[in-house]
Structure 1
Amino acid sequence: MSGHPSPQRFVEISLDKRGVSCTAVLLDDRAPLTCEAVWNALPLGGDVYHAKYARNEIYTLLPSFASQEPPLENPTVTPIPGDLCYFTFTDTLLGTASHGYQTEAAHRGESRVVDLALFYERNNLLLNGDTGWVPGIVWGAIVDGLDRMADACQDLWRAGARGETLGFRRV
């Protein structure tokens, strides 16, 4: 090791149909295993959802992409605006009627599903009525464009998410 800090890595997060994006820095110092798993899998993306439980969150559900799921590093149950979080769920958990995507979970055929989430406003609480606390791994922080993304997320909440995708790409 040279003793020099590693260069920062950045990702672009976009709502593709709306043409809105923001930039986040990876928190390699706080969640190194999660950052490495996400970075190695980029680009990633899929249908976007607005969270039912957490409040001010958008996310996409992806097949598990890490060779080994990262441990719960840099955890939170109270994400702040600009946090990017990583969650792992089982398909059976997501297949419950209260979550609302029984067909998506059933068609995946995956035993694990990864939820990559973006929090765009304050007062979030990761408490699920079915399962209790849902800690997430904070792996990135938005450093540019949060205001534009928050406006687009509010529009997504009001106008609907159908046909919209959430994408993550290297910068």
Structure 2
Amino acid sequence: MSLAFAGADNPPAAKPSPVEVTFENPAEFTDFTQSYSSKDYGQDGLMTQFREFLQERIAARLAPGQRVEIKFKNIDLAGDFEPWRGPRADDIRIVKEIYPPRASLDFRLLNADGSVAAEGHRDLSNLGFMTAIAFPQSDPLRWDKDLLSDWVRREFPAKKK
């Protein structure tokens, strides 16, 4: 009989998140075919950033046993590339008011017994994103995450203490 212990060689199994985030045809998303220069923000990096962000924000707002399924249909990141600025600027995302963050998604909130508590389609955008104070300032996805945070606060009210 062999016993396994958590440690450097045997990390504890990660508890599955009650928030499932998927991306439908991400190669066709407005901005997922173009990426920041950093390798962290390629298509896989962007999906990981959004998935982890939403899992962290929503899980704390759920009642025991509840689950959420989110399927992104499209994401248009704040800012855009302006290749006409020349070859030295063709991989620089220019952030201006005319390029607001947008997201299109479907979601389902499931109770512990599997019944649907809420579901729907949401088209999110923040036309005033440049006037908001989005933190952390060093995060290049701060406006996009701020858009999602606003939706999470509206859709999943905080649990009463």
TM-score, reference length from structure 1: 0.25
TM-score, reference length from structure 2: 0.26
Structure holding more strand per residue: 1
Higher relative contact order (CA 8 A, sep 6+): 1
Compare CA radii of gyration and give the structure with the larger one. 2
